[in-house]
Amino acid sequence: MILPAFILSAVLSSAMADGTASITVTVDGIEIGSGHLVVGLYDSAEGWDGETAIDGRRVAVTGDVAEIEFGPLPAGRYGIKMYHDVDDDGQLDTNLMGIPSEPFAFSNNAMGRFGPAAWPDASFAVDAGENAHAMSFR
């Protein structure tokens, strides 16, 4: 297994030399150790508001912290929307008033008022090379 990891590292390093970027997202505050994190990566306010993610992940929850990798990507501004699909039904559960009943989070730990966080609050700069971003469920 060392050789494939080395090859992957060499490929990513080569891509990063070309001006592309990667993001390692560390998520903490996971309180229920089951289900999946459903994660969307956005690259514009239009995509953010229109729910048009450029990439997505469904990550099995195995503890109270998770790591998610995105890349290679062009350098730029990105935002992340995520929820913890605790019951693994493939959708964000809500109560009768439409308020999420499963944990959710936005990049920059931004919070919305009566809806998702706004793009200016949740978006963050991604430079060429390796980038790290931390998020928490509240």
Average pLDDT over residues 25-35: 96
Q: Place 17 in a pLDDT band, splitting at 50, 70 and 90.
A: low
Residue 19 has pLDDT above 60, yes or no: yes
CATH of 2-136, one of 3.30.9.10, 2.40.40.20, 2.60.40.10, 3.40.50.2300: 2.60.40.10
Question: In the structure, what pLDDT confidence band is assigned to residue 60 with cuts at 50, 70 and 90?
Answer: very high
Across 20-39, average pLDDT: 97
Q: What is the mean pLDDT of residues 95-116?
A: 94
pTM, two decimal places: 0.85
- Give the residue from 54, 51, 28, 50 showing the smallest Cα distance to 41: 54
How is the chain split into domains, by residue range? 2-136
d(Cα 117, Cα 49) in Å, to the nearest integer?
Answer: 10
Instruction: Enumerate residues 6+ apart whose C-beta is below 8 A from 37.
Output: 27, 30, 57, 58, 59, 61, 66, 68, 82, 83, 84, 85
The three-state secondary structure class of 24 is: strand
